[in-house]
Amino acid sequence: MSMPLVSVIMPCYNNASYVVAALESVLSQDYPNFEVIVVDDGSSDDSVSVLRQFGNRITLIQQANQGPAAARNNGIKAAKGKYIAFNDSDDFWLPGKLSAQITYLEQNPDIGLCYCHWAVWDSPVTFKEISDRYSYKDQLLKTDPNYTGWLYLKLLKDSIIHTITAVIRRSVLDDIGLFNANYRIGEDHDLWLRISQKYRIAKLNNVFAIYRDNPTSITKGVHSQNFSLVVLQTALNNYGLSCPSGEKISQSLVNSYLGARHFSYGYNAMIKGHRDKALKSFQGCISCKYRLSKALVFWFICALPPVYHLFLKRKNAQVLANQ
């Protein structure tokens, strides 16, 4: 098998405490031909100093804070590889990841993107313990048939591809375009949806990546708008309800997908003090008839400021009691 160059892109923002372990998990891969490009997204901690200690083992790019989409895009523009892979600065790759995915892609030229299964590290175990839990003595490349092929309809329901697991042909990105930098989150889901319109996608069953459940992650906050909803609505407007395979889904099913995004964003906004955003989101739930009874109750709470403030007071008291 040929060993084409792989460019690994890693955005970093204020992750000095975690980035060393994330980088070492990439640099220790047994695949012999890859470059690592780290894009510091305007960190205010010691991230840049820590990254410089890696010397010529990595290529370091610095930019003013613009978000992970812009950081990944700048890394891709500097990349020289036939394939583009991603890791985040607080997550891990397990041994054998690159070798397995590049082998699969080289053997299956009709596949535009290969991803793999991943695990979540959210309990007090060491990295060695979780790594050993998912290590494989054999590297048989078994794909998941339910998540391999034309995945547009599955991607409408959920962003089933974790960015840290994806390896993409550079030619696909040249064709489809890069991440949408207007999205502070959801930029990965948007890219997968665009790719799924023109390329088949494959999932390896093996766990080759570990996502660190970081409470300070950007995905935990309440953003200026419901980006997950925007991404889904944009895809529906552009591509409709039909997959390139010819399969279709109903509008009622799509309404449940839209309602779920309204509900998730609304509840997160509700418990974090963003009453106006929550009220608008629960109105969206009601229009989609999604979890209607709960949406009506939460809408009522948010519609009446005194009731809402009492709700927040009790919610905060519960959080303190559980700490």
Q: Are 5 and 37 in contact (CB under 8 A)?
A: no
Which CATH number is 59's domain given? Answer: 3.90.550.10
pLDDT at 214: 65
CB within 8 Å of 185: residues ≥ 6 apart: 218, 219, 223, 227, 228
Q: What is the pLDDT of residue 138?
A: 56
State the pLDDT at residue 318: 80
* Tally of domains in the chain: 2
| 194 and 140 assigned to the same domain | yes
Is the CB of residue 206 less than 8 Å from the CB of residue 142? Answer: yes
Residues 186 and 256 in one domain: no
Please check whether residue 229 lies inside any domain of the structure. no
pLDDT at 71: 97
- The answer to whether residues 116 and 214 belong to one domain is yes
Q: Which pLDDT value is given to residue 139?
A: 59
What is the model's pLDDT at position 319? 74
Range of the domain at 303: 250-322
- Helix (H/G/I), strand (E/B), else coil: 132: helix
Would you state the pLDDT for residue 21? 92
Residue 2: the pLDDT is: 79
Residue at 263 is within a domain: yes
Q: Please give the pLDDT value at position 218.
A: 54
| Same domain (yes/no): 177, 279 | no
**Domain for residue 241, yes or no?**
no
Which residues of the chain have a pLDDT value below 50?
none
Q: 174 and 44: one domain?
A: yes
In a domain, 132, yes or no: yes
Query: Which residues on neighbouring strands pair with residue 210, listed in sequence order?
Result: 92, 119
Q: Same structural domain for residues 216 and 304? A: no
Residues 164 and 58 in one domain: yes
